Amino acid sequence: MLFADMYRKYAIQCMVVAVLMTTTLHAQKAVVLNEKEKQHIFSYNEIEAFEDTGSIYNIQQVTDASFSKNFKASVEFIPKNYHYKSTYWYRIKIRNQQPTKGNWVLEFYDQTIDHIVFYTLDRNNNLVKNDYGASLPFDKRLFYHKNFTISLDEDVEGEHTYYFSLQSQQPSNVMIVLKPMSWFIQYGLKEYFFSGIFYGMTLVFCLYNLVMFFAIRQRKYLYYILYNLSIGVFEMSSNGFAFQYLWPNSPGWNEIAFGVALYVASICSLLFTRDFLYLKTKAPLLNRIVLWIIGLRTLFFIYCLFINHHWFIYKFIDAVPLLVAFYAGIRILRKGYYPARFFVAGYFFLLLGFFIRVLKTVASYNLPLGPINFYSLSFCFLMEMLFVSFAIGDQVRWLKKKKDLVQKRMMEEMQLNQQLKDNLNKELEIQVAERTKELVEKSALIENQNEELVSVNELLKQQAEEISRMNAMLTEDNQELQVNIKKVTQARVMSADLSFDEFAKIYPDDLACFKFLADLKWQNDFKCRKCANTNFFNGHLLYSRRCSKCSYEESATTNTIFKNAHIPLNKAFYMVYIVYTTKGKISSYKLSEILSIRQSTCWSYSSKVKKLMEERKKELQNAGEKGWSKLVLE
């Protein structure tokens, strides 16, 4: 029921104990039963309260006359419980000055009270305990009604004091209304009737959007259907209808159902806003903000659902998605997207309903407790659904108008293209005719030229054959010339006097030197020094050879004058060459100057070469161009 909406923010668990007493309290104002008055709300000094911070008192202690001084008159129009660890005791006084017709009831408008223990006096003045509350299945109630309703005795005569004990783990409101049974039934029927209209209209809006979805196949209509259904479930959970009709045997789920429904409504509202207003293309930054809000709201929901259910009462955070959607509508409307005007109007009513709900929560004692106040949020929900449905219809009309305009432009462009095509074809026909005439005239000339070209081609063919024959002869001559050049260069190295720069062009690096040594050492085939095997593989070093039988590996410098050389190999080659060509008359100082090597090193190598020249004097006499290479092998 909408009466309890303004109290759902705080209440989850509550306990009420009522005991009919005959004690007369002169300081507290007694409410007089009046059949002409449809209902009476207990407020201010009509209800007195006491906070039991330690929850140590029981009903016998509280109803004792000496305990009366602990009760204080309410300073609020509607008393509230703020501390979940405390037990709050309340008492009210009812006076019947004359016999009345029919029964009277006390109705508690906060349906989220977990437990109500109501004590009455039977005819033998014994306390009778009656259990009610949201923690019990719905069929445990005395009246099959969404609000907790307590029946008074048929003959309420004189003055009586009622005591209530409330305990709530979250803030709750204590709104107690006294009604005659006749008005309770009449008002309840009206309330159920108008609530049925509200939920029926919600279903109508859902069906309308379902038809739109099947017609247009856009997911935004599914988002809005889920939004409407979630709003309906939220209202039913807040008003107690859901506990009465949907899950009467699931009090645990009833405590959090409103929070789940409100989360789904917020998320679907933002998703619908993104698609309906085309935020992804029209306002990318705002679109990213909406996605961030969806993510943060989801994290908050997960925390509430799995960690702390009490945080579901902080419904005010859903003002953020509401404000963002409203701002997005205004932003897109200012960009010229006219279907957004109904969207903005609908969310304006939602903001209005939210503002009234906040006022009801923080300043309920200053607001009139009439139908406009209680039904304001439901009315605003209906207006929002109505205007958003107008916006959806307006969007369809706008899209149809845009489609018709595009089709009209396409027809005009097609007609223009057809006209251009006809004109172009006429021009092309004229140009083709002229071109054909030119080609016919030129074809005769080309035919004559072709005959001349055939004769010229024949002559060129003969010349090409002659050129090919001459190229073949030149190729043979070039190959022979290259071989001769190589032989001459090698011979010049072996015999003529060369500078180191000229020598370095033939032996520029160690790789060329290793190759020369390998060719020189194994010019008569390889033979292993250990096992005399003649088969080998390439070794790990440059141009080295490894015996295929015993795996002995011999480098290119082994058993040569260059073994364990500590200077660049091409410089060592040149040192042997220059000592040989000068017949040992060059000094170590001159060698050091030419090769940029220390004089002592040059003296050591030159001495070794001179010694070999002296030892192999007879071999070198007829050595010719290969004389210096005979000094290489030891």
Quick: pLDDT tens for 183-197: 877 777 877 787 778
**What's the token pair of residue 481?**
């010339």
pTM score, two decimals? 0.56
Contact residues for 159 (Cβ-Cβ < 8 A; gap 6+):
24, 30, 93, 94, 95, 96
Percent of the chain with pLDDT over 70: 84
Q: With bands split at pLDDT 50, 70 and 90, how would you rate the model's confidence at 1? A: very low
The predicted-structure confidence for 325-341, as pLDDT tens digits, reads as follows: 888 888 888 888 877 88
The predicted-structure confidence for 83-102, as pLDDT tens digits, reads as follows: 777 888 888 888 877 766 66
The predicted-structure confidence for 224-241, as pLDDT tens digits, reads as follows: 888 888 888 888 877 778
Inter-helix orientation angle 376-495/181-216, to 10°: 30
SS3 state of residue 15? strand
Q: Are 251 and 302 in contact (CB under 8 A)?
A: no
Write down the pLDDT at residue 20.
34
Higher pLDDT, 510 or 399: 510
Mean pLDDT of the region 568-594: 80
Write down the pLDDT at residue 625.
52
Strands (E), 23-125: 31-32, 40-41, 47-52, 72-73, 80-81, 87-96, 104-108, 115-121
Mean pLDDT of the region 251-262: 84
H or E element that contains 545: strand 545-547
Mean pLDDT of the region 112-116: 75
Write down the pLDDT at residue 469.
75
Mean pLDDT of the region 145-161: 74
H or E element that contains 538: strand 536-538
CB atoms within 10 A of CB 502: 13
Q: With bands split at pLDDT 50, 70 and 90, how would you rate the model's confidence at 399? A: low
Mean pLDDT of the region 589-610: 82
The predicted-structure confidence for 62-72, as pLDDT tens digits, reads as follows: 888 888 888 88
Q: Is the pLDDT assigned to residue 16 strictly greater than 80?
A: no
Contact residues for 224 (Cβ-Cβ < 8 A; gap 6+):
209, 268, 272, 388, 392
How many whole angstroms separate alpha carbon 553 and alpha carbon 363? 103
Higher pLDDT, 398 or 50: 50
Write down the pLDDT at residue 14.
33
Give the sign of the dihedral formed by CA 67, CA 69, CA 73, CA 75.
Answer: negative
CB atoms within 10 A of CB 433: 10
Write down the pLDDT at residue 296.
93
Question: Which residue type is seen at 512?
Answer: A
Residue 105 bridge partners (DSSP): 151, 179
Write down the pLDDT at residue 426.
84
Q: Compute φ and ψ for 582, nearest 5 degrees.
A: -95, 5
Average pLDDT, the chain: 76
Write down the pLDDT at residue 474.
75
Q: Is the pLDDT assigned to residue 111 strictly greater than 90?
A: no
Mean pLDDT of the region 299-310: 88
Write down the pLDDT at residue 622.
66
How many whole angstroms separate alpha carbon 580 and alpha carbon 629? 9
Contact residues for 628 (Cβ-Cβ < 8 A; gap 6+):
494, 576, 577, 580, 581
**What's the token pair of residue 36?**
């002409």
Write down the pLDDT at residue 122.
62
Question: Which residue type is seen at 434?
Answer: E
Mean pLDDT of the region 319-326: 87
The predicted-structure confidence for 413-461, as pLDDT tens digits, reads as follows: 888 888 888 888 888 888 888 888 888 877 777 877 777 787 777 777 7
Query: Distance between terminal CA atoms of the chain?
Result: 117
Write down the pLDDT at residue 299.
94
Write down the pLDDT at residue 175.
83
Domains annotated for the chain, with CATH where assigned, are 2-188 (2.60.40.2380), 192-400 (1.20.1070), 500-523+558-631 (no CATH)
Q: Are 343 and 386 in contact (CB under 8 A)?
A: no
**What's the token pair of residue 518?**
């390998």
How many whole angstroms separate alpha carbon 611 and alpha carbon 591? 17
Q: Are 223 and 275 in contact (CB under 8 A)?
A: yes
How many whole angstroms separate alpha carbon 61 and alpha carbon 92? 17
Integer-rounded Cα Rg, in Å, for the chain is 55
Higher pLDDT, 518 or 488: 518
Residue bearing tokens 């939920």: 199
Exposed e or buried b for every residue in 278-310, given b needs 16+ CB within 10 A?
A: ebeebbeebbebbeebbeebeebbeebeeeebe
